[in-house]
Structure 1
Amino acid sequence: MTTPLHPNWANVKNVLVMRLDNIGDVVMTSPVLRSLKEALPGVRLTLMVSPGGSAAVPLLPWVDDVIVWRAMWQQLGGGHADPAQEAELTRLLRERNFDAAVLLTSFSQTPHAAALACLLAGIGLRLGESAESAPGLLTHEPPSPTPEAAQQAERNLRLLESAGVPVRDRALEVHVSEEARRQAAALLPGPYLLLNPFASCSARTYPPERAAHAARLMAEQLGWQVAVTGVEKDRERAAALLAELGPAGVDLLGCTDLATFAALIGGAGLVLTNNTSALHLADALRTPVLVTYSGTDYETQWQPRSTRFTLLRRPTPCHPCYAFQCPFHLECLDIAPGEVAQAGLDLLARSAAPEAMTLR
């Protein structure tokens, strides 16, 4: 049964959407932003993001304004309390005169710190979801908890629907400029596989030399090049994998901004990546994606929903661990390069999307 739009939300014109996390998480806000624009004619959307997540904002055309903020409650280890900084945040939010705030979090995060800042700033409507109770901080929340293993974009959309905001399209979407597409084509005009070998934490990272070996095996079969992507700081640790790729490898480390990186993903025949932002960009751009997916999370939490994909993981008793560093030997990613390569070739061989969405 569809929930009717709550009367208090029917006339909002100035909405804050908060997602203070990484690039991939910001990309996953796209169906929420699109749905708000469609359901609330004339609404002005301001997206509040972390410095790291801010790179994704140009890919989201529904955003009218952006606030970049390093929130103390989102920092690893808890950060350091700074009353002056928190007072500045409250002042900033109050000055914007927001009618409502949509507080997007993942299953492991609480919206209550953000909700308190919004309450102190006089934002009357505060929509969020938490496993903990804090009466008065949220004005609207889902009637029942979202399951922990739910896909996290679906968690966000369920939040909107609980306030009666209709969702026409649940898919991720990003807009890549023609200039970014031209830059990507100039970097690599021919058919290629995109290898994104690094992740933000070691527990999610398939050994990069093994990833390069798998990519080389696929490239030899397909006659493709391999675009190696990453940031400039990855260059030192990329030497061995570039050597493994040999002449098939094209070193693009540190050569792109996020828009050009997205354009490269959109132009790739296949993306080989860990559980990181490249996975979500591939889903948004409908590029087939092969994911070496560690046991840190449930597959269902972050898997693609709109593109062809295969996730590779070894079953382990510690799954899901939600760890940043593996205390063992990363047994969940003990996958031979030949097996990875064959999975990629099999994925490319499948043509119909429903058959291609598999978990191995």
Structure 2
Amino acid sequence: MPPRNDPLPAAPFALDPRPRLRHDESRPTARGLAALGLARAIEWSSVRRILVVRLDNLGDVILTGPALRALKDHLPHVHLTLLASPGGAPAAALLPWVDDLVPCRALWQDLGRLGFDPARERQLVAGLRRGAYDLALVLTSFSQTPHPAALACALAGIPARIGASRERGRALTVALPHLDDDLHQCERNLQLVERLGVPVADRRLEIRLPRAAWSAAGARLAAHGVSGDYLVWNPFASCDARTYDPLRHALAARALAEYADLRVVVCGSARDRDRARELAPLLGPRGLDLVGETDLLEFAALLAGARLVLTNNTAALHLADALAVPQLVTYAGTDRDSQWRPRASPHRLLRRATACAPCYRFACPTAHECLALAPAEVLAAGLSLLAETAPRA
């Protein structure tokens, strides 16, 4: 006998009885979804507090912005809380649709390094219970399951738990059909809320910078004598497999700066400070090493003022995309272009086609053939992009 799919608890707020979701319909097919009229099944006027779960890296949280904006536009009365990993949580400061932030290092996201601690898990569930949420919306990438997060929400008594899933299970009260793996991750979030009946008027990525961030970035540049155009170079990524050889990257950055008469502002996280210092001499007098010296808001403001961004496939890509800043991306074969590429900013993606792509590895087991790019190749692409995006007289 197949396992039942009834919810762990039932939703106390009103659900439109046209149609009524039976237990065995909690994971309908795409065709069945339309027939059931799920878009009308949730009585949104009864929802006051929503928990949005996105437990991943900084860039992944930035990509939730359009979906959060759509929720707020459609439901201005709703209080949105974001449950985010410590790495992704700082992005909430750039997303004005987030009313509250709950940082969480989740066991199921970091099982290899985070040992099992029942007291910590009970604390998580208790914290979610105190939030008194009416609904939890679990956002995931193409490769993730929503069920562990949904189970934590169920144990916390959150009555409605929604996500897109390949698997059967009781943790989700509504399991939407899994979307195509090729879909852009930002679009994945948008289509999930659309299938819940939330209209999406604007699909663009967006961040909003506070005035203090602009002031801090301007003051820092002025203090270092940067008054004209500059490029921001982000030489590192969160994993080695997505990082273009830093030496080659430095040579390309310097050549771009010299040909285009730009300063090079080097940015990155504090953990990369020592590596960046080794590269700084290669940039010559045009280089300005700010690695580890800026917070996320100031970094975003520096990106916003740049003539060009030179980066790997990392959070800087999504920030530059949200700001519509031209960017040159050394894009490793770890991921499909369609899943993470810029959607709005003028850009060039540079990489070699390889049989192993996409590998989704954190470390390359071979010789990094997908990023076997000569600095001259990066230079040529950068000059082409600069010419294409040059301000008109």
Q: What's the TM-score once normalised by structure 2's chain length?
A: 0.86
Map Cα deviations across residues 171-196 of structure 1 (whole Å, 9 max, x no partner).
11111111111111122242100000
SS state at 1:107 partner: coil
1:114 offset after TM fit, Å?
0.5
1:3 offset after TM fit, Å?
7.3
Partner of residue 338, structure 1? 376
Q: d(CA) in 1 for partners of 2:295 and 2:252?
A: 26
Q: d(CA) in 2 for partners of 1:109 and 1:19?
A: 11
SS state at 1:7 partner: coil
Matched, 1:92 2:127: yes
Asked if the contact 1:141–1:163 (Cα under 8 Å) also holds between the matched residues in 2, the reply is no
Q: d(CA) in 2 for partners of 1:278 and 1:264?
A: 11
Amino acid of the residue matched to residue 175 of structure 2?
E
SS state at 1:129 partner: strand
Asked if the contact 2:50–2:81 (Cα under 8 Å) also holds between the matched residues in 1, the reply is yes
Q: Which runs of 5+ in 1 are unaligned?
A: 353-360
1:8 offset after TM fit, Å?
3.1
Q: What are the residue-to-residue correspondences of 1:51-70 with 2, within 5 Å?
A: 51-70=86-105
Which of 281, 294, 299 does residue 243 from structure 1 map onto?
281
1:170 offset after TM fit, Å?
1.1
Q: d(CA) in 2 for partners of 1:296 and 1:82?
A: 32
SS state at 1:126 partner: strand
The alpha-carbon distance between structure 1 residues 112 and 345, as it changes in their structure 2 partners (threshold 3 A), is: same
Matched, 1:141 2:175: yes
Partner of residue 197, structure 2? 164
Total equivalences in the alignment: 350
Map Cα deviations across residues 106-126 of structure 1 (whole Å, 9 max, x no partner).
111111001001111111111
Map Cα deviations across residues 233-264 of structure 1 (whole Å, 9 max, x no partner).
31221234211111111111111000000000
Q: d(CA) in 2 for partners of 1:315 and 1:7?
A: 45
Amino acid of the residue matched to residue 180 of structure 2?
P
Matched, 1:119 2:154: yes
Map Cα deviations across residues 97-138 of structure 1 (whole Å, 9 max, x no partner).
10101111111111100100111111111111122221x221
Partner of residue 226, structure 1? 264
Asked if the contact 2:277–2:289 (Cα under 8 Å) also holds between the matched residues in 1, the reply is no
Partner of residue 355, structure 1? none
Q: d(CA) in 2 for partners of 1:80 and 1:280?
A: 31
Partner of residue 357, structure 1? none
Partner of residue 224, structure 2? none
Partner of residue 209, structure 2? 176
Asked if the contact 1:152–1:302 (Cα under 8 Å) also holds between the matched residues in 2, the reply is yes
Q: d(CA) in 1 for partners of 2:135 and 2:126?
A: 16
SS state at 2:102 partner: strand
Q: d(CA) in 1 for partners of 2:122 and 2:333?
A: 39
Partner of residue 276, structure 1? 314
Q: What are the residue-to-residue correspondences of 1:38-77 with 2, within 5 Å?
A: 38-75=73-110, 77=112
Higher deviation after alignment, 76-85 or 198-207: 76-85
Q: Which runs of 5+ in 2 are unaligned?
A: 1-33, 222-226
Q: What are the residue-to-residue correspondences of 1:206-217 with 2, within 5 Å?
A: 206-217=244-255
Q: d(CA) in 1 for partners of 2:144 and 2:209?
A: 30
Partner of residue 350, structure 1? 388
Asked if the contact 1:11–1:40 (Cα under 8 Å) also holds between the matched residues in 2, the reply is no
Amino acid of the residue matched to residue 199 of structure 2?
P
Amino acid of the residue matched to residue 103 of structure 1?
V
Map Cα deviations across residues 61-87 of structure 1 (whole Å, 9 max, x no partner).
111111111111111527322222212
Matched, 1:252 2:290: yes
Partner of residue 103, structure 1? 138
Asked if the contact 2:306–2:325 (Cα under 8 Å) also holds between the matched residues in 1, the reply is yes
SS state at 2:207 partner: coil
1:320 offset after TM fit, Å?
0.6
Asked if the contact 1:227–1:252 (Cα under 8 Å) also holds between the matched residues in 2, the reply is yes
SS state at 2:358 partner: coil
Q: d(CA) in 1 for partners of 2:98 and 2:67?
A: 11
Partner of residue 44, structure 2? 9
Q: d(CA) in 2 for partners of 1:41 and 1:250?
A: 43
1:5 offset after TM fit, Å?
4.3
Amino acid of the residue matched to residue 217 of structure 2?
A
What fraction of aligned residue pairs are identical, expressed as a percent?
Answer: 55
Partner of residue 22, structure 1? 57
Amino acid of the residue matched to residue 219 of structure 2?
A
Asked if the contact 1:280–1:304 (Cα under 8 Å) also holds between the matched residues in 2, the reply is yes
Asked if the contact 1:12–1:40 (Cα under 8 Å) also holds between the matched residues in 2, the reply is no
SS state at 2:51 partner: strand
Amino acid of the residue matched to residue 201 of structure 1?
C
Bigger Cα Rg: 2
1:208 offset after TM fit, Å?
1.0
Asked if the contact 1:127–1:159 (Cα under 8 Å) also holds between the matched residues in 2, the reply is no
Q: d(CA) in 2 for partners of 1:172 and 1:83?
A: 38
1:93 offset after TM fit, Å?
1.1
